[in-house]
């Protein structure tokens, strides 16, 4: 099988590429702006990388959509700080650019595995979010955080409509707070624009305060990337066509914790790390109002828990890695990469 991955150097893209090359006989054709996370895979004869931009290298993309069996358009801005700071770029990249790719998948009759997001459920009050039942709830327009959720939701609806009319074979997958090595860079964290786990790890590393937005009682379910990629591989294999035109949550409901618990746990793991046991000081944990941290356009999501019955049933998959192990592996890998 030939897989096209746009955004192959991203968090999901580079982990997926590694696993495809290690565990299957498939070939990967990948494009990204840079290749710093791809390491030794760049030398693998089944991996074909080109440095490029989906807004510019359109001919390469069209040619490879024609040539490949499955398309994974993973290029997107997916960090809440940027939804608020630069909503137009979120719209251009996450919606318009990806819509072009989807239209070409329709044109050339190619299967697409598209990253929807747990963010589409927004402020849904359900205790567990279900793909085919839960209501998708967003805030007013002046709360610009929701642009990402809306862009993804509309794409989900466009893809679904093409699918139900027989013009496209798709699987929409919804990652719930995947974490792991190389989630975000230290550089992004210095800017304060990385996702919460990397942000907290980087603060510990830089001895800066850990900031709990609005007190940190909001909850997330953190999913270790190896588990998530395991589900994705099964979606790509699509044995017996089980994933055809399905929407599938990929998350770990067992790993639910509040942002405050997350901060405490990461601080404990950091203090117990062999290189940091004897540090003279450690980051304090402080509270910051959301408006100060993110600005006026932000609104939080207080709970986000996946129902994963569909993934269990269709893919025979369930997540294995617990919260503390997931955080330890993410922390240790960050320290290994950034320690002088």
Binding mask 22-61 for ligand UDP (x = CB under 6 A): ----------------------------------------
Nearer to ligand UDP by C-beta: 80 or 230?
80
CB 61 within 8 A of CB 29: no
The C-alpha angle with vertex 231 and arms to 216 and 334, in degrees rounded to 5, equals: 50
E-strand stretches of the chain: 2-6, 27-32, 47-51, 70-73, 111-115, 170-175, 178-179, 210-213, 219-221, 223-224, 246-250, 256-258, 285-288
Decide if residue 255 touches ligand UDP (CB under 6 A). Answer: no
Q: Closest distance between ligand UDP and the C-beta of residue 322, in Å?
A: 19
Could you say which of 218, 249, 252, 299 contacts ligand UDP (CB under 6 A)?
Answer: 218
Q: Tell the smallest beta-carbon distance from residue 298 to ligand UDP (Å).
A: 8
Among residues 7, 73, 80, 163, the one that binds ligand UDP under rule CB under 6 A: 80
CB of 135 to ligand UDP, least distance (A): 19
Structural tokens at position 121: 């459920």
Q: Which stretch binds ligand UDP (CB under 6 A): 38-46, 53-61, 68-76, 215-223?
A: 215-223
Cα 259 to chain centroid distance, Å, stands at 18
Least distance from C-beta 179 to ligand UDP, angstroms? 9
Contact with ligand UDP (CB under 6 A): which of 204, 259, 323, 331? 259
User: Of these, 20, 213, 221, 321, which contacts ligand UDP (CB under 6 A)?
Assistant: 213
Measure the CA–CA gap between 106 and 114, rounded to whole angstroms: 13
Q: By CB under 6 A, which span of 23-31, 46-54, 216-224, 273-281 interacts with ligand UDP?
A: 216-224
Within positions 168 to 207, which residues make up the interface with ligand UDP, using CB under 6 A?
177, 195-196, 199
How many residues of this chain interact with ligand UDP, rule: CB under 6 A? 15
The least distance separating ligand UDP from the CB of residue 104, rounded to whole angstroms, comes to 29
Residue nearer to ligand UDP on the CB measure, 172 or 188: 188
Distance between CA atoms of residues 215 and 223, nearest Å: 23
Pairing of strands 178-179, 223-224: parallel
120 binds ligand UDP (CB under 6 A): no
Name the percent of the chain in helix, strand, coil, to the closest 5.
Answer: 45, 15, 40
Residues 176 and 250: beta-carbon distance below 8 Å: yes
CA atoms of 112 and 116, how far apart (whole Å): 12
Residue closer to ligand UDP (CB basis): 163 or 216: 216
Helices 323-338 and 196-206 meet at what angle, rounded to 10? 50
Distance CA 285, CA 209 (A): 6
Tokens of 190: 């210095």
Report the C-alpha gap between 300 and 307 in whole angstroms.
Answer: 20
Stretch that binds ligand UDP, among 48-56, 154-162, 212-220, 266-274 (CB under 6 A): 212-220
Residue of 37, 110, 220, 310 that binds ligand UDP (CB under 6 A): 220
State in angstroms the smallest separation of the CB of 176 from ligand UDP.
9
Reduce the DSSP state of residue 32 to 3 states and report it: strand
Interface residues with ligand UDP (CB under 6 A) are 80, 119, 177, 195-196, 199, 211-213, 216, 218, 220, 259, 300-301
């Amino acid at each position: 099988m030939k897989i096209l991955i746009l955004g192959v150097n991203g968090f999901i893209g580079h982990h997926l590429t590694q696993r495809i090359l290690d565990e299957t006989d498939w070939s990967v054709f990948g494009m990204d702006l840079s290749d710093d996370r791809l390491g030794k895979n760049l030398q693998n004869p089944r991996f074909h990388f080109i440095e490029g931009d989906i807004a510019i290298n359109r001919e390469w993309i069209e040619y490879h959509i024609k040539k490949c069996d499955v398309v994974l358009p993973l290029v997107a801005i997916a960090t809440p700080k940027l939804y608020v700071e630069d909503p137009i770029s979120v719209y251009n990249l996450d919606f318009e650019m990806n819509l072009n790719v989807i239209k070409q998948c329709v044109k050339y009759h190619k299967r697409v595995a598209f990253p929807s997001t747990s963010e589409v459920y927004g402020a849904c009050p359900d205790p567990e979010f279900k793909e085919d039942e839960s209501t998708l709830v967003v805030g007013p327009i002046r709360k610009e955080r929701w642009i990402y959720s809306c862009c993804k939701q509309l794409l989900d609806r466009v893809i679904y409509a093409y699918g139900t009319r027989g013009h496209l074979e798709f699987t929409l997958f919804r990652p719930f707070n995947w974490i792991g090595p190389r989630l975000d860079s230290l550089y992004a964290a210095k800017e304060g624009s990385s996702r919460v786990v990397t942000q907290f790890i980087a603060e510990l590393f830089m001895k800066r305060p850990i900031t709990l937005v609005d007190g940190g009682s909001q909850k997330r379910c953190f999913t270790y990337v190896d588990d998530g990629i395991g589900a994705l591989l099964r979606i790509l294999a699509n044995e017996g066509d089980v994933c055809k035109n399905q929407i599938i949550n990929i998350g770990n409901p067992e790993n639910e914790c509040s942002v405050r618990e997350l901060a405490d746990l990461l601080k404990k793991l950091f203090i117990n790390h062999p290189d940091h046991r004897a540090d003279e000081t450690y980051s304090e944990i402080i509270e910051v109002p959301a408006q100060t941290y993110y600005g006026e356009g932000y609104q939080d999501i207080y709970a986000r828990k996946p129902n994963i019955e569909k993934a269990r049933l269709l893919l025979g998959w369930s997540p294995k890695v617990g919260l503390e192990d997931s955080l330890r592996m993410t922390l240790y890998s960050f320290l290994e990469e950034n320690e002088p």
